[in-house]
Amino acid sequence: MRVLVRDNNVEQAIRVLKKKLQREGVFREMKARRAYEKPSERRGREKAEAIRRTRKAARKLAIREGLIAGPAKKPRPAAPRKAAPATSAS
């Protein structure tokens, strides 16, 4: 895995590296390897993850096809209004 450091901007390179590691699942795997997991627990966890993935895919497909309603969209905040110029009534 490579991350380019541009203009000596190490902070940005670290952010990019963290995002890549997160996408690859390295942090999740490190957390899982902190303690021993029994083979039966591992099979149960993997089976539950597979079920969760399948349900999520089916839900997304049903939303896309219009069979069920999607999540409610959050209302966008209104743009700040400009104050009207003051006019004198003299």
pLDDT tens per residue, range 20-68? 999 999 998 999 899 999 999 999 999 999 999 999 999 999 999 999 9
The strand ranges marked E within the chain are none
Residues 48 and 55: their CA atoms lie apart, in Å, by: 11
Nearest to 68 by CA among 83, 55, 79: 55
Alpha helices in 33-86 (DSSP H): 39-65
User: Which pTM value belongs to this model?
Assistant: 0.55
